[in-house]
Structure 1
Amino acid sequence: MASVMKDPLDLLDVSSLLSEEELDIQRTVRDFLDDRVRPHIGEWFEDGRFPRELVTELGKLGLLGMHLEGYGCAGTNAVSYGLACLELEGVDSGLRSFVSVQGSLSMYSIWRWGSEEQKQEWLPRLAAGEAIGCFGLTEPDFGSNPSGMRTRAVRDGEDWILNGSKMWITNGGLADVATVWAQTEDGIRGFLVPRGTPGFTTSDIKHKLSLRASVTSELAFDNVRLPASAQLPEARGLGGPLACLNEARFGILFGAVGAARDSLQAALDYADARIQFDKPISAFQLTQKKLADMAVSLNSSMLLALHLGRLKDDHRLRPEQVSVGKLNNVREAIAIARECRTILGGSGISLEYSPLRHANNLESVRTYEGTDEVHTLVIGQALTGQAAYR
């Protein structure tokens, strides 16, 4: 009988390219998730509930803003952060989305663009999971074109008056503080809006078919008065929020690999156990072709993610390279999750198995932080020097 690899999904031995510290972080996150989350995630998805009780545990584990320095953040390298995202999304995209928004959007926007006072006030609490943040950029009529946003902040003496709305905001209904981007007389600027500020309300979006174990909300601002100290002083123009989005996209290109890997593991386990025509379906040529094709795609995506992680740690990662990773890895992960569902047959539509849940979640992941079309045009511009957005 032919020998089976110790880890058949690590076909190219990518784990040998990781340091012991990186592997330890990955194992720690995986063990925590296997114990605290994996047994319950199907129920949470079905109930449409995000497990808020996990937030402080994620903070104690050091996962919130883990790639940032100081202010109670773990200060890991980018690859370690990516591997944590891989394990989180291997359980559910909703969990990775929470960590991405908390660390790479809310916390990063304060860490990168905020005043020292803002950093001291919010970052330690956000890192510990004692506070939750969200990031308000997308609007009902302006998704891929955030420069057209209608949310506006106008000066009133020393204060600002904020009006407008934001849509599809992860963590919005939970957040203690929202980073909100608005048009001003000086261009697009960022503001920190604490929960409870008069005129600031949120409403959660219901009846979702995707990211059900995640809170997605609309934010509304009706003559919200903010002090001058609410403005992020270092962010000017659209470059501020776009830099934050690049941070979040980096986590996605690792996370998608986790969803694909979990789907493939479920399909492989099922194929070995499912008997048809007196033998396991893993012994049939068509099933093996599916498994082989998916393993090649999975390992290629992992190598791409790791390469981009090393570039990021070397401060050489360019935005178009992030677009390559996000576009490719999410697209491949959806294809893998769907193909795995076919191996599971009728059982694949049950929440007992993960592939179709991952496929549904990845439809949201494919759309947020830049659609396939937008990332295609980013890459196209890098190749040709021509912007084709308009």
Structure 2
Amino acid sequence: METQRLNLPNLPTEILYLILESLGFDDLRSLSCVDKRLRGILIPILFRHVQFSFSTSSLSDLGKLAESQVRQHVRILSYTVPDLLKPGHLDFEYFKRAVFTPDEYIVATAGFYEDEPAARYPSRYMKVYDTLKGTCKDQQKILEKKLDLDTLTTSLRALPRINELKIRVCESLDTGHWEFLPLHFNLTNVDDSFTHHARTVAEALKDARNAGISLGTISLNFLKITSFGPSEGAKFRRLWSAVDSLLEQSTFLCVIGHTVPFELLIDMKLTVKKLELRHCLIFYDTWRKLLEVHRKSLHHIEIYDSKIGGMGEDWCLFHKISPQILSRVLAGFQFTAKESVHHESFFKRVKGWTIELIKSDPSKNAGDVANAL
């Protein structure tokens, strides 16, 4: 009897949650199969944040989830959107002549297959081509049948508790070891890809809103972008050009990622009312311009795991957000601020600040503004 009381399923709920927080996703998934009580506790955790991508198999899985009982537990959807491949460039003769030649492949992979015979190079080269061609065919099927729009529209209507949709921006093309320029610039359609994805999401959100489902937050996640070169900068700008339609369906914009070029947030002159920043590095001058551009509309800011740099002599030093830093970076603005915690998942919580910008009395000068911390 004593042994039974010490079994995991029989522990008090408070203690059980403390134990579960230390486990990984796969462990939690296994535990959900142990008994009815653990399943009842874990299913809401496992399905709180659902990730899917622009592929027929992933969209199919999302559609099935939206028809299941677990749909009531989904709070966050993360949609990974890639660049779209150009079908005409995957003709094999053109591919091996103008996109990624066998000689380029040998140079790009020389350090990975030194101990293998050269006779195996052709089969590995063909595997790269076949993988890319298969991905391209899959993308074209989605576009022709509008599977992304139909699935997302149906799913958003079926998820009664969803409050955030994340658009996860990935690298131009995930080629594993072969981060080789011809693959990036010759195969992908940078001009149209993210405009398509943003407009598809906006249309699905509009349909959901018409059905009475209001989404709180639109998140743009750039953590998978390691650096912003000309291609990524152009991609980001085109994405923002389509974000206006997204903001019409949501009042809260969240931007995630260390390398996000905030200058583009300023250049696009979007109407942002609520802004959340996660895992960002921000320069002071950019921050101030951002506040000025959105002075009339922006009234709520949340900042988590982010730093601000470029202040005074410490130009290269980035500072964690603190009451002292807030007083400096929000000088001239009337605001209140309080510490807060964002629950990124059951496993991860990040600390930060919630800031309310108060419309200043025009008759008061900056010295009369009281910043409540």
Please tell me whether Structure 1 or Structure 2 has the larger radius of gyration of its CA atoms: 2
Would the TM-score normalized by the shorter structure come out above 0.5? no
Higher relative contact order (CA 8 A, sep 6+): 1
More helix by share: 1
Task: Give TM-score scaled by structure 1 length.
Answer: 0.23
Q: Tell me the TM-score normalised to structure 2 length.
A: 0.24
